[in-house]
Amino acid sequence: MDAVLSFVGSIFKQVAFELLFFWPGWLALKVLTLGKFPKLTKPGRDINDYGDVQAVSYFGVFVVLLALVGIVKYWPK
């Protein structure tokens, strides 16, 4: 049972990182670096190293968390 839950958790994490956090990170890095980085357009096909996708996804987590904090802090009451 632990192996099944571990497998489902790893699939969920991979899907969440590649679909949910990759694109906000990609967009933010494109804006911050004026279009020079990242050169990835499709995470499944244009990569030589999966570490690039993970780095962009981790930056996407940071961007999403920063946006959520900004929304919570400055949302009109």
> Quick one: pLDDT at residue 27?
93
**pLDDT tens by residue, 14-58:** 887 778 898 899 899 999 999 888 776 665 565 566 778 888 889
CB 28: neighbour CB atoms within 10 A?
Answer: 18
- Judge whether 59 and 25 are in contact, CB under 8 Å: yes
pTM of the model: 0.74
Q: What is each CA distance from 54 to 12, 15, 47, 76, in whole angstroms? A: 14, 12, 11, 35
> Quick one: pLDDT at residue 40?
65
